[in-house]
Amino acid sequence: MLRKIKPGQPGTKQFLEEYGEQLVCVRYRYDAQRRKRVKTVEIVVAESEWLPPTERFAPGEIVWLRIGFVERPVQQRLGAAGGKWDSQRCVWNIRYDAAVKLGYATNVERREVSL
């Protein structure tokens, strides 16, 4: 069992005095088998700027999707989602967001652009 308490709530007073604004929460973990209660604190020890990673592909970008030749149900789902089979390259051309929605993001390759 776990109980999580935010700073300022009863049970956090001593830690709030000690850690101030660095305190994120206090947790009480209960172990019925060992008959123990463990109290832990989560504090901020460092803070820095961070940018979340960008998507590898834009949602509407057309990408290549390599699927095995014998995977007929997958091929039918790709066709229904707007995918087009490229027989020269043996790949499916499909929008990246559709590939992700179908669960095939790991099979995606960047499409070569010919000029």
pLDDT digits (tens, 9 = 90+) for 53-102: 777 788 888 999 888 777 888 889 999 999 999 988 889 999 999 999 99
User: Tokens 């087009």 — which residue?
Assistant: 84
Burial class (CB in 10 A: 0-12, 13-18, 19+), 33: exposed
0.75 exceeded by pTM? no
Domain spans of the chain, in order of start: 2-43, 62-109
Q: What angle do CA 24, 30, 34 make, to 5 degrees?
A: 140
Would you state the pLDDT for residue 20?
94
Q: Where does the pLDDT of residue 115 fall: very low under 50, low under 70, confident under 90, or very high at 90 and above? A: very low
Average pLDDT on 11-30 reads: 94
